[in-house]
Amino acid sequence: MDLKKLKDLDFAEEAEILKILGHPTRLKIICGIIEQDLCVGDIGNCLDEPQPKISQHLALLRAKGIVKAERDGLNIKYRVVHPLVIKIAKILEKEKLKS
């Protein structure tokens, strides 16, 4: 990309998304709920992290439009809905499985 274009383009939104992905717990959460919906408790057990921590991360992801929540009785199931995030997460998984 040349200098003039760079000056005009604003990467603030993209940077915000990447920053949010740039946290180990959140990244794991995201990779976990790409191909399947999971509820908070399952995620917490799986990652061995306290419930409020997971809820707070999910709240942030929800606020940024990265995940969507759907209630199912007592449980609330989450899934990733952000296309760019899905794309990046899949690339990361592929890289990961290579090594």
Partner DNA sequence: TCGCAATATAAAAATATTTGAATATAGCGA
Partner DNA sequence: TCGCTATATTCAAATATTTTTATATTGCGA
Binding positions for DNA, rule: CB under 7 A: 19, 23, 25, 39-41, 44, 50-60, 69, 71, 73-76
First to last CA, the chain: 30
Q: Could you tell me the smallest distance in angstroms from the CB atom of residue 98 to DNA?
A: 26
Instruction: Assign 36 to helix, strand or coil.
Output: coil
Contact 78, 40 (CB under 8 A): yes
Q: Could you tell me the smallest distance in angstroms from the CB atom of residue 8 to a second copy?
A: 11
Cα 38 to Cα 15, 16, 54, distances in angstroms: 27, 24, 12
Q: Could you tell me the smallest distance in angstroms from the CB atom of residue 35 to a second copy?
A: 6
CB closer to a second copy out of 26 and 62: 26
Residue 84 contact, options DNA, a second copy, none, Cβ 5-8 Å cut-off depending on partner type: a second copy
